[in-house]
Amino acid sequence: MKVGASNEVGLIATGGVRSDRPATTAAESGATRAEAGVSVDVSSTVQSLGRTGSGSGIDEAKVASMREAIANGTFTVDAGAVADKMLANAQEMLSRTRG
């Protein structure tokens, strides 16, 4: 998984709330309060992220086996592979800023 734009870092660091933008209330965003909760309008782009189809590139069998391994407590992380990917991503980002 590659790290995206720098605004995603703010999202993670602040627990899901962007630190560079002021928070909006439900009234400001056009959402209305319902009995069961708050109504939220979701863009078509976000809706498409939730859909997985045959062309999504997601290996559903692999996801299922990983979920099972996590649930069983047998999932292991290859720290070397994670470190290699992190270094490759950092090198890619640095090469973009230099060139």
pLDDT, tens digit, for every residue of 69-80?
A: 999 999 999 999
Range with the poorest average pLDDT among 16-25, 39-48, 62-71: 16-25
The pLDDT of 5-29, averaged and rounded, is: 47
**Looking at the whole model, is its pTM more than 0.85?**
no
Residue 33 has pLDDT above 90, yes or no: no
- Could you please report the per-residue DSSP string of the chain? -----THHHHHHHTTSS-SSS----HHHHT--B-SSSB-----HHHHHHH---TTS---HHHHHHHHHHHHHT-----HHHHHHHHHHHHHHHHHHHH-
Chain segment 57-98, per-residue pLDDT in tens: 889 999 999 999 999 999 999 999 999 999 999 999 999 887
Task: Label residue 5 by pLDDT band (50, 70, 90).
Answer: very low
